[in-house]
Amino acid sequence: MIEGNDPGKSGSGWLKSLVLVVAFMVALAAISTAAVMVGGGPKQAAYPAGSPEAALQAFVKAANAGEWTTADGLLSANLKAQGITAQDAAGYMGLSSMTMSIQSSSTTGSRATLNVDYRVSAGAGLVSAGYDMYSPVQMVLESDGWKLDSRLGG
Domain ranges of the chain: 7-37, 47-148
Confidence band, pLDDT 50/70/90 cuts, at residue 61: confident
Q: Categorize the per-residue pLDDT at 35 as very low, low, confident or very high, splitting at 50, 70 and 90.
A: very low
Measuring CA to CA, how many Å separate 67 from each of 61, 73, 89, 123?
8, 10, 13, 26
Give the predicted TM-score (pTM) of the model: 0.66
What's domain 47-148's architecture?
Roll (3.10)
Distance CA(29)–CA(118), nearest Å, equals 23
Res 21: pLDDT: 67
Q: How far apart are CA 127 and CA 94, in angstroms?
A: 23
pLDDT at 124: 57
Of residues 98 and 152, more confidence is placed in 152
Confidence of residue 147 (pLDDT cuts 50, 70, 90): very high
Please check whether residue 47 is in contact with residue 54, taking contact to mean a CB–CB distance below 8 angstroms.
Answer: yes
Mean pLDDT in the chain?
77
Cβ neighbours of residue 134 closer than 8 Å, sequence gap 6 or more: 115, 116, 117, 118
